[in-house]
Every structure is written in C-alpha cells, then in structure tokens.
Amino acid sequence: MDYRIVWTVTALEDLRDLVRYIAADDRATARRFGDRMIKRIEGLAGFPRIGRKVPEYQNDLIREVILTPYRLIYEVDDDGSVISVLRIWHCARGEPELGR
C-alpha cells in the first residue's frame, strides 16, 4: 500500500520560492524544476524509507533524498501511512531548519 504524501506549509513555500526565483530567468526551466521535485517526492509513496536518515537529526523517521543541490526532507508516519514533506533545503545552507 502506498503512503499518502502531505506537504507542510513550509515545504510548499520552499518549493514556491525556488520556482519563482528560477522563473525570473527562465519560466520553462522553473516549471521543469518544480515538476522534477514533485515527481521525486511522489516516488517516495511506494518506498518511504528509500531516503537516508537526516544526519543532523539521527531520527529514523526523518529522512531525505538528494536532488542535487537540494535536500528533500520528509518524515515517515508508518501508523498513518503518511509521508510529510518538511523542507526543500539547499545543501550549501548547512543544518536544515525543520521548524518542528
């Protein structure tokens, strides 16, 4: 059974801000970028633990996949079969702020 994907407000703002930033130079590239991020997150539904544990947190439920140069950070809820997308974080920004 696939997990349901839920985006937090913060993660949606991250994606929106990135797409808007890229769109200032090239709208088509921005659309492809956004679609690629969403597709990567949707791919987690069948394999929620495919990402590694976020090293800074060492919590088995907080995981990430890398889509260079971004870290797509999410939390797994096995009881509810839900993946909550927490942040899209640029790798150069250091430790991710999860705001939890």
At 73, which CATH number?
Answer: 3.30.2310.20
pLDDT number for residue 70:
95
Number of domains forming the structure of the chain: 1
pLDDT number for residue 86:
97
Distances (CA, A) of 57 to 20, 89, 95: 29, 15, 9
The verdict on pTM exceeding 0.75 is: yes
pLDDT number for residue 100:
56
3-state secondary structure of 91: helix
Query: By residue range, what is the domain housing residue 39?
Result: 4-93
- Residue 99 within any structural domain of the chain: no
- Residue 85 within any structural domain of the chain: yes
